[in-house]
Amino acid sequence: MRSIAVATGVVAVAANPTHYGDPKTGCQSDEQPVQVQGVEGDFCSPACTDAGVCPTDEPSGVTANPQCALQTSSGGKYCALICSPSSLTSNGANGECGTGTCQSISGTGICTYAKSANSLKEEPISTVNFARNFHFENHLKKFGKTYGAEELPRRQAIFEKNLAKIIAHNKEYRNGKATWYASVNEFADLTKEEFAVMRGGKKWTPSTHPVVKLESTGTPNPDSVDWRTKNAVTDVKNQGGCGSCWAFSATETVESHYAIASGKLLTLAPQTYVNCVKNPSKCGGTGGCEGATMELAFNLTAQTGIALESDMPYAGRDEECKAYKAAVKVSGYVKNPVNDAAALETAVATKGPQAITVAAEPWQFYGGGVFHGCSSGIFQSKGSDLDHGVQLVGYTKDYWIVRNSWGAGWGEKGFIRISRANDAKTSVDTTPADGVACVPYPKTQTVGGECGILFDTSYPTGVTGVSEVVV
């Protein structure tokens, strides 16, 4: 457990107008400047009340959460601004530290300010640790979780086990041994098995659909493409506890291709697929929240279309398929060549975002950076067990840009950057029965790229707007 040393500060002419300010301009009368050992920067810290409450007034531009997170060896408790570290911005994943810096510590972050030579004396007056149970209690509060008396200690044990892995991985990240960092998120009190159920259990299914390899036009693909900058990607969605990742992947990709074709970015309804996709062969699951495939969703869109989200709001559960007003239809879809990075890049560059299947078990605690956790590191697992449908929205020479369906609070505002270092590599799944739901299934399957990202990719064709009631 990392400790922070509280040091006496030089008296300033004028104090900050709020709590949690920069010690260089003076702390409030009920604060003292504190410094995190091994982490650059300092900040003004007020004491917690007996009830563990912290002052809520913050410097201008700061949105981090004041938490009673610090505790002295003698039991004194102090407040800090808790943030989410990010490799993209120095002041937190959402800029929550304002002009300060979000410094990573023990799986979370604290807002600090750059320390000047004369802002603090070097001699500490006491040493403070993170308060015991702070992380778990903060996790429950942040995500609105409650557990009964019997379940609570089990959940805390799971959380602390996961937190230890997050801290260990982030140490490797800080030491330059990893290019991505882990975060404490809403999945931190779930086991791997529980996370698999939540993920949806989409199972890859062998397809008989013709594969189309786009021919080169003679013009090289751009070095980078990001369809988010072209008004072709809607806001990040959240599938919740329903195993409907396949429906979200298909919906998002139809949205994008309709926007590219028409110039209109509509928000469509994944509940259309959850309710109405028929899955008699149990491909990718048994249907609805129990899993299906993007191909089945594209087929339904060709036959009867997909509704607007406003007409069929997402329920996060299986519901009866009733007549609905279709907003968009497609004529079909294209399957890209298997394990072909060049072909997939061309499809993204020339056609648009793609519906893809990945092995997402190691994604549970992704916080940011370029991800290589399927093939190496503490969270490494079977990189070939494809079980999650997502949307590929762009690329650079170094990584693929992937949109997830676990809400904007996960990863880089709902997105993940997948390393392309393994584009030329494949792995073999020797137990495809665990990942192939339609019979007959092969004895093995070979998947390419980090997290198997190159194996199962597709996009809809002939996307047009309609206005008709269908059954």
3-class secondary structure, 406: strand
pLDDT in tens, 176-217: 899 999 988 999 999 998 898 777 655 555 555 555 666 656
3-class secondary structure, 264: coil
Helix 294-303 vs helix 245-262: angle between axes, to the nearest 10 degrees?
Answer: 50
pLDDT given at position 381? 76
Distance of alpha carbon 396 from alpha carbon 223, whole angstroms: 6
Query: In the structure, how many helices (H) and strands (E) does the chain have?
Result: 7, 21
pLDDT in tens, 53-107: 899 999 999 999 898 888 777 778 889 998 888 767 788 878 899 999 998 877 6
pLDDT given at position 128? 53
Listed range (53-62, 148-157, 275-284, 432-441) with the worst mean pLDDT: 432-441
Listed range (59-73, 169-183, 420-434, 453-467) with the worst mean pLDDT: 420-434
pLDDT given at position 86? 77
For 209, residues 6+ apart whose C-beta sits below 8 A from its C-beta are 295, 333, 335, 458
Cα distances (angstroms) measured from residue 395 to each of 344, 398, 407, 417 = 10, 8, 21, 9
163-166: long-range contacts (C-beta < 8 A, 24 or more apart)?
163/106, 163/107, 163/135, 163/188, 165/365, 165/378, 165/379, 166/107, 166/365
- Paired tokens of 232: 């072709």
Q: Using pLDDT thresholds of 50, 70 and 90, give the confidence band for residue 390.
A: very high
List active site positions. Answer: 245, 388, 404
Q: What is the DSSP string of 215-243?
A: PP-SSPPPS-EEGGGGT------B-TTS-
For 163, residues 6+ apart whose C-beta sits below 8 A from its C-beta are 106, 107, 135, 184, 188
Are residues 375 and 361 in contact, defined by beta-carbon separation less than 8 angstroms? Answer: no
pTM of the shown model: 0.78
Q: Is the pLDDT score of 385 beyond 50?
A: yes
Q: Label residues 324-342 b or e (16+ Cβ within 10 Å = b).
A: bebbbbbeebbbbbbbbbe
Query: Which span out of 29-33, 125-129, 260-264 was modeled with the highest average pLDDT?
Result: 260-264
All structural domains of the chain, each given as residue ranges with its CATH number in brackets, are 3-132 (no CATH), 193-470 (3.90.70.10)
pLDDT given at position 291? 79
pLDDT in tens, 246-267: 999 999 999 999 999 999 999 9
